[in-house]
Structure 1
Amino acid sequence: MVKAAKLHLVLGDQLSHSLATLRDADRDSSIILMAEVWSEATYVRHHKKKIAFLFSAMRHFAEELRAKGFNVRYVALDDPDNSQSLKGEVVRALGAVRASSVVVTECGEWRLAEEMASWADMLGIPVEIREDDRFLCSVQQFRDWRKGRKQLRMEYFYRDMRRQHRVLLEAGDEPVGGKWNYDAENRKPPSAGLKGPKRISHPKDAITRSVLALVEERFADHMGSLDSFHFAVNAVEAEKELQQFVDEILPRFGDYQDAMVKGEPYLYHSLISAYINAGLLLPMDVIRRAEVAWYEGRAPLNAVEGFIRQVLGWREYVRGIYWTEMPDYAERNHLDASRRLPPMYWTGKTKMTCMAAAVGDTIEHAYSHHIQRLMVTGNFAMLAGIDPSEVCEWYLAVYADAYDWVELPNTLGMALYGDGGVMASKPYAASGKYIDRMSNFCAGCHYDPKLTTGPKACPFNALYWDFLSRNEEKLSRNPRLANMYATWRRMDPFKQQTIRKHASQVLEALDTL
């Protein structure tokens, strides 16, 4: 039996050499444990590319640690002795080494955090759970920030984070350019023929090829294909994608961050969220790179500020919401939505071009950008009254950057308004007119965004008014919806009835739209 001072557990989304778990790891006496386990890969039906990305990245990280001289105990999914749970692998490792304690960095999911909290009693040795200081706002800091606030608006949190970390500031804590937020400049519809730049596709080494074969064999019935697997699987490759974004893509990110184009899943988005969330890139490094691009005149302020707001603002904010609202947050259903998730979310088979494109991109790439998630798949689910638990499970399963801490607030709070306004000041409800304005999806679609009723009417249109009508008691006092409710109330009662009847027909036909 090997004697080890400590057993250091590294999770699959903690692939950073600066990780708190590794800070005092000793090359002579510490054991670093990493494990691919069935329970974590299947508690929702994760996309094949997501599983392959994480397993390959984990294996590459383990090799980097070994190259540094660390003693790494790596358990592959197909190891015949694999217990297929994290707890089981900790127990099995402790059976092989006489560790005095277990060290781990706090995880990103309430479910696993609750389990880890019981490990010390179960194992009979200390289990030290360290703060994840890769994030820029600790959970306790967020608790302190939200005390006494009636509304938890991200904009004010974001400004405080800018001041704290000295990002895009002039002297005296004033924002560069005189404004904190340039969002009004970042909502341009797509210009004719808009295309994004060609993206990096990384070569597949022996480790990645082995993982792809494993995932194809063990997860054959999960969403997606492993063809054209393009992910970075180590920090060097992730850095190349960050460099490409800053040099070639960031300058136009602001203008077109809300635009949607058929056949262009990426446009001018960064594609680095999966790498930040898994630990291959660190958020402050990313922020500083974007900031320098503005100071050096290589990217405009509206683009740089908009991008930094996503990383320093939204990313930190949703994590704070998650950890200070859980565990009951996941059960909230403010609008009493109860319909099941339509099959089109898994197949992409629908006559609605926007939904087919957003889901099709998801199936192909384990990715769609934030406006597709919020204003297409999320908006449709909210308008149709789909059960939030089913929608949240889908988002967690299908996107390579999805972990419970980031997915749940974004989906339940922003996309579905299921938390009753904890995150969003209003439901992000929109008709087909929004999609027509911000995309080219509607051209040639089976449905017409200008029609509200009839066989060719865009399903979003009648569902939009029906959503407002059936939720009037809960939403009509929201000042940001006052104009929409005033418009609805001015409609002829017969027109209202006709719209709601058509919406009912749409809802009855969700499986065949």
Structure 2
Amino acid sequence: MAVLRIILGDQLSRHIATLDGLDAGRDVVLMMEVAEETAYVAHHKQKIALVLSAMRHFAGELRAEGIAVDYVALDDPANTGSFTGELRRALQRHRVERVVVTEPGEWRVLVAMRGWAGLLGCPVEIRDDTRFFAGRARFVRWAAGRRSFRMEYFYREMRRESGLLMQGDAPIGGQWNFDAENRRRLPRDHVVPPRRRFAPDAITAGVLALVERRFAGNFGSLADFNWPVTRDQALQALEDFIAQALPLFGDYQDAMRGGEPFVHHSLLAPSLNIGLLSPREVCARAEAAFHAGQAPLNAVEGFIRQILGWREYVRGLYWLKMPDYAALNALEAQRPLPAFYWSGDTPMACLRHAIDHTRRHAYSHHIQRLMLTGNFALLAGIRPQAVCDWYLAVYADAFEWVELPNTLGMALFADGGLLASKPYAASGAYIDRMSDFCGGCAYDVKLKSGPRACPFNRLYWAFLIRNQRHLSANPRLAMPYRQVAAMDAARQAAILREAEDFLDGLET
């Protein structure tokens, strides 16, 4: 009897565990476009289009191999709108002995999967996702007995186990981390390399039309949709990054410039997160570029650390701490999300640029996410769950396993320091140092107070004062808290009042 094998929209890999042991003459692959996955947050139009187009292309590739694919389109009139409903219908269409699926990337979907066997009366095998360097059990072993979870230590173990950029048991270059070399501002005359992008084919054009009809009110524009939607395109994008952008990725990975949303970043996260590329092949290709003299060590190590270190680490932390992790709010932040996060309508030039990049491309590189939209939300005391929903909605690469720890832990410190050793709070000086945004802003980054002062400056000291109970004992904040201690009560009260007046004036 046949096996029904389920492929989800972020599992578009021929090497996904679901397909191990597939009998092409007997088994059926079930792929489902369901409304509940397109609507649990108000996803960016490009994110929906990317997943649906890539799913349809992948189904075509499986069929070309002679594999039977039962594909349920979003606009199928009989579509129930949920994985459970569509699995129930598929079991009525096909006589199968069992269902095989690979663990999903979101806790809520795993909860549903675990209930399928009892609900539907059919054995369901949930397989480990083997696409990662470290399985969930491997991370649990690493985390056992630790009071805090610092990525750097996990990363070193992953380097040793993978052998990437290693000479025996020692790191190539004599140190594990070259981050100190990766903080240069873009020179004014620096030309950012053009990037390989992909015009929509007939399948993608059909998906774009569907998304525009069905999700007309969602955030974002489809006009600039040009993401890879097939494995072949993703491999071309990888080679383009290696040749064009990787050599200077390290130097400029923290740099920002108006009108340059990509700088030297890889743009590979969407392809990695939906399965068109594997982390092993991406890291191996970057390492090969180093050994071939095509890219320097600081660039290659910094890039590999983002995947082998950070990406693996946040996934491990997510599965270790869910479901309680999603509700954490260590700093007791309660303000609603400002409306400009959706509209981009703000006098703050840096946020206006970052949100416009996001609206046009469903993308903003990690420093814009951490030090602009994330930093503002942290300083303003915006409720973490509202910020997490926004990040999950607006980026093409956002799936909960990777988005939630990055936002709640790294950007907002809402987990109380489980992930980050200190809040990534910064005044306008950092933004001015790493970008050209401040020169065209309505506010003055040099002013610390008053109506024309950069809001990041006004909010930074108010954030520290407001959160003294939570943060003053943090050794990495000793210097700014010495400055807070030197302020008398009247000065602290004035700073808080000015910040509250500004925040109260934001439309939400």
TM-score by length of 1: 0.98
1:295 match: 291
C-alpha offsets along residues 136-185 of structure 1, whole Å, 9 cap, x if unaligned?
101111000011112210000000000001110012x1000000000000
Give the corresponding residue for 2:156. Answer: 159
Say yes or no: does 1:41 pair with 2:38.
yes
Measured in 2, the distance between the counterparts of 1:109 and 1:196 equals: 35
Which residue is equivalent to 1:73? Answer: 70
Q: Distance in 2 between matches of 1:424 and 1:135?
A: 22
| 2:203 equivalent to 1:207 | yes
Deviations 1:262-306 (A, max 9, x none): 110000000000000000000000000000111111100000000
Q: Is residue 2:33 matched to residue 1:31?
A: no
3-state SS of paired residue (2:439) = coil
Structure 2 residue aligned with 1:258: 254
- Give the Å deviation of 1:31: 0.6
For 1:197, the equivalent position in structure 2 comes to: 193
Could you tell me how far 1:379 is from its partner in structure 2?
A: 0.5
SS of 1:80's equivalent in the other structure is coil
**What residue number does 2:476 align with?**
480
Cα distance in structure 1, aligned partners of 2:413 and 2:78: 45
Shift of residue 72, structure 1, vs aligned partner: 0.3
Partner of 1:21: 18
Within-5 A mapping of 1:134-145: 134-145=131-142
Is the deviation greater in 192-201 or in 66-75? 192-201
Q: C-alpha distance in 2, partners of 1:14/1:129?
A: 13
Post-superposition offset of 1:204: 1.7
The aligned counterpart of 1:83 is: 80
Counterparts of 2:232 and 2:395 in 1: how far apart (Å)?
22
Is residue 440 of structure 1 aligned with residue 436 of structure 2?
Answer: yes
Provide the secondary structure at the position in 1 that maps to 2:173. helix
Q: Is the CA contact 2:158–2:309 (under 8 Å) kept in the aligned structure 1?
A: yes
| Cross-structure match for 1:147 | 144
Q: Which residue of 2 aligns with 1:281?
A: 277
Aligned-residue identity in percent: 58
Instruction: Name the CA distance, whole Å, in 1 between partners of 2:190 and 2:344.
Output: 23
Amino acid at match of 1:475: L
**Cα distance in 2, alignment partners of residues 430 and 476 from structure 1:** 16
> Take 2:80 and 2:497, find their aligned partners in 1: how far apart are those partners?
54
1:12 pairs with 2:9: yes
Choose from 402, 406, 417 the match for 1:406. 402
Specify which of 113, 116, 120 is matched with residue 116 of structure 1: 113
Unaligned runs of 5+ in 2: none
Match of 2:180 among 178, 184, 195: 184
**CA distance in 2: counterparts of 1:145 and 1:98, whole angstroms:** 42
| 1:493 Cα deviation from its structure 2 partner | 4.4
Query: What is the match of residue 466 of structure 2?
Result: 470
Match of 1:381 in 2: 377
- The count of corresponding residues between Structure 1 and Structure 2 is 508
Partners of 1:210 and 1:473 lie apart in 2 by: 54
The 5-angstrom pairing of residues 89-100 of structure 1 reads 89-100=86-97
User: For the residues of structure 2 that align with 1:193 and 1:356, how far apart are their CA atoms?
Assistant: 23
Aligned-residue offset at 1:372: 0.4
Q: AA paired with 1:54? A: V
1:313 Cα offset (Å) = 0.3
The farther-off stretch of 503-512 and 160-169 is: 503-512
How far residue 492 of structure 1 moved from its aligned partner, in angstroms, is 4.8
Residue 337 of structure 1 pairs with residue 333 of structure 2: yes
Could you tell me the TM-score, scaled by structure 2's length?
A: 0.99
With 260-269 and 500-509 compared, the bigger mean Cα shift is at 500-509
How far 1:494 sits from its partner (Å)?
A: 4.2
Kindly state the Cα deviation for residue 497 of structure 1 after the two structures are TM-superposed: 3.2
Q: CA deviation at 1:416?
A: 0.2
Between stretches 413-422 and 202-211, larger displacement belongs to 202-211
How many angstroms apart in 1 are the aligned matches of 2:487 and 2:252?
A: 35
For the 8 Å contact 1:200–1:230, the answer to whether it is kept is: no
Contact 1:195 1:264 in 2 (8 A): no
User: Equivalent of 1:104, from 94, 101, 105?
Assistant: 101
Please, which of 224, 237, 240 is the counterpart of residue 236 of structure 2? Answer: 240
Q: Verify the 8 A CA contact 2:465 2:492 in the aligned structure 1.
A: no
CA distance in 1 between partners of 2:121 and 2:190 (Å) = 60
Deviations 1:472-501 (A, max 9, x none): 011000000000100121235444333222
Q: Quick check: 2:195–2:244 contact (8 Å CA) kept in 1?
A: no
Answer yes or no: is the 8 Å Cα contact 1:31–1:70 preserved in 2. Answer: yes
State the Cα distance separating 1:228 from its structure 2 match. Answer: 1.9
Contact 2:150–2:419 (8 Å) recurs in 1? yes
Q: Which amino acid aligns with 1:84?
A: G
- Which residue does 1:307 correspond to in 2? 303
Cα shift at 1:20: 0.5
Aligned-partner Cα distance in 2 for 1:296–1:408: 37
8 A Cα contact 1:195 1:267, kept in partner:
no
Taking only aligned residues, the RMSD between alpha carbons, in angstroms, comes to: 1.0
Offset at residue 507 of structure 1 (A):
1.2
Matched, 1:348 2:344: yes
Q: Choose from 150, 170, 174 the match for 1:174.
A: 170
AA matched with 1:320 = G
Q: Which residue of 2 aligns with 1:422?
A: 418
CA contact (8 A) 1:225 1:364 kept: yes
Question: Counterpart of 2:316 in structure 1: which amino acid?
Answer: G
Query: In the alignment, does 2:289 pair up with 1:322?
Result: no
Report the residue type matching 1:287 in the other structure.
C
Query: How far has the Cα of 1:201 moved from its partner?
Result: 2.3
Q: CA deviation at 1:502?
A: 1.4
1:461 aligns to 2:457 (yes or no): yes
Kept in 1, the 8 Å contact 2:197–2:237? The answer is no
Corresponding residue number in structure 2 for 1:50: 47
User: 1:202: how far off?
Assistant: 1.1
The residue number in structure 1 matching 2:446 is 450
Q: Note if contact 1:194-1:261 (Cα within 8 Å) is conserved in structure 2.
A: no
Distance 1:203 1:423 in 2: 39
Looking at structure 1, the residues matched to 328 and 287 of structure 2 have their Cα atoms a distance apart, in angstroms, of: 38
